[in-house]
């Protein structure tokens, strides 16, 4: 078993305090609409973001895919970044679930820009797919936990509004961006038509994501969630963990960001490291010199009980989260220094 698991922030275990919150959460049957803790979570997140409604979902993938199925008709097109999780890591869901096509634009930090988006929008011509959804990811996972400036979001919102595109945000790690950039939940809730947020990443809940949007959109999304088997019953136990995470684990994300920055500085001093992407939040991406084998490097660390992951060639990834202690970081540095 990996003792220091930097593969992802999805690996966190619920703390004793979170477990206590879970077992003391009253439950009902959510398909019947009467699980009080789920209702409380959905109302709480909708209030924070100023959206009409929220829907508690099993995972970030499920929340994104429900949103896309809700927004898209067969033959429509999604404009997203080539690094986008919705395209690369959701099992081909855009095609399989929404029967839609995809087109890409964006820079090597995982960030999209208005001029690129404008270049993707198709004329209304029977030859082309119909440009329908503009989907952002903040923070960008494959980009290295990078975040948008608020002005960039506003500019993209303006493009979406002008061209009739639905504006979706994969906000799996939106709270990291909010903390790093000191941005407001309410601004995001106003700018986007739909947002998915994960509670089970840096916020430390064992399971769960929330999808946000208008009453009509969430009503439709609830139907889709049921259709794909995501109608759950006494999941208030999980909503209890999510509420605990939102009440206790947001501000501390800054500690993970500081840990990623500190490790980036350490890695930059190692002779076998080719490049380090300066981290903006809790994700640290770095590449190895040509004479180093990426898979063997990851395996060597795993033998020492240290888990890291990769996102393609030249992209080793460490993700910092609430189960990574200062003592663990010291051990990781010792192991890296001995490479």
Ligand X SMILES: Cc1ncc(COP(=O)(O)O)c(C=O)c1O
Q: Tell me the closest approach of the beta carbon of residue 170 to ligand X, in angstroms.
A: 5
Q: Tell me the closest approach of the beta carbon of residue 317 to ligand X, in angstroms.
A: 11
Q: Tell me the closest approach of the beta carbon of residue 66 to ligand X, in angstroms.
A: 12
Q: Looking at beta carbons, which residue is closest to ligand X?
A: 60
Q: Give the nearer residue to ligand X in terms of CB position, either 197 or 273.
A: 197
Q: Give the nearer residue to ligand X in terms of CB position, either 131 or 209.
A: 209
Answer for the pair 204, 178: CB distance below 8 angstroms, yes or no: no
CA dist., res. 80 & res. 169, Å (int): 10
Q: Give the nearer residue to ligand X in terms of CB position, either 245 or 336.
A: 245
Q: Give the nearer residue to ligand X in terms of CB position, either 172 or 243.
A: 172
Q: Tell me the closest approach of the beta carbon of residue 162 to ligand X, in angstroms.
A: 26
Q: Give the nearer residue to ligand X in terms of CB position, either 142 or 273.
A: 142
Q: Give the nearer residue to ligand X in terms of CB position, either 21 or 198.
A: 198
Alpha-carbon dihedral sign for residues 188, 47, 257, 291: negative
Q: Tell me the closest approach of the beta carbon of residue 176 to ligand X, in angstroms.
A: 10
Q: Give the nearer residue to ligand X in terms of CB position, either 12 or 273.
A: 12
Q: Tell me the closest approach of the beta carbon of residue 160 to ligand X, in angstroms.
A: 19
Residues in touch with ligand X (CB under 6 A): 10, 59-61, 64, 85, 137, 141, 170, 172, 198, 200, 209
Q: Which residue has the tokens 């994501």?
A: 209
């Amino acid at each position: 078993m990996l003792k220091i698991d930097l593969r992802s922030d999805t690996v966190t275990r619920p703390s004793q305090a979170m477990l206590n919150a879970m077992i003391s959460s009253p439950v009902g049957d959510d398909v019947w609409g009467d699980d009080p803790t789920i209702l409380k979570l959905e109302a709480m997140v909708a209030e924070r973001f100023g959206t009409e409604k929220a829907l508690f979902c099993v995972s970030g993938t499920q929340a994104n895919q429900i949103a896309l199925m809700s927004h898209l008709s067969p033959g429509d097109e999604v404009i997203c970044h080539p690094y986008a999780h919705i395209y690369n890591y959701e099992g081909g869901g855009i095609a399989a679930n929404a029967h839609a096509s995809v087109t890409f634009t964006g820079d090597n930090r995982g960030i999209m820009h208005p001029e690129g988006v404008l270049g993707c929008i198709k004329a209304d011509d029977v030859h082309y797919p119909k440009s329908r959804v503009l989907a952002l990811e903040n923070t960008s996972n494959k980009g290295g936990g990078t975040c948008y400036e608020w002005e960039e979001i506003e500019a993209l919102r303006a493009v979406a509004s002008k061209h009739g595109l639905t504006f979706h945000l994969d906000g799996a790690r939106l709270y990291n961006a909010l903390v790093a950039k000191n941005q407001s939940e309410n601004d995001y809730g106003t700018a986007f038509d739909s947002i998915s947020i994960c509670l089970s990443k840096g916020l430390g809940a064992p399971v769960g994501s929330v999808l946000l949007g208008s009453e009509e959109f969430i009503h439709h999304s609830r139907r889709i969630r049921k259709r794909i088997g995501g109608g759950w019953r006494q999941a208030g136990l999980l909503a209890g963990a999510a509420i605990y995470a939102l009440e206790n684990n947001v501000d501390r994300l800054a500690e993970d960001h500081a840990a990623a920055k500190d490790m980036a500085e350490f890695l930059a001093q190692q002779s076998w490291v080719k490049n380090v992407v300066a981290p903006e939040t809790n994700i640290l991406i770095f590449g190895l010199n040509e004479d180093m084998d990426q898979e063997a490097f990851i395996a060597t660390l795993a033998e020492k009980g240290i888990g890291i992951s990769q996102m393609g060639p030249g992209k080793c990834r460490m993700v910092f989260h609430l189960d990574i202690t200062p003592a663990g970081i010291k051990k990781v540095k010792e192991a890296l220094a001995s490479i």
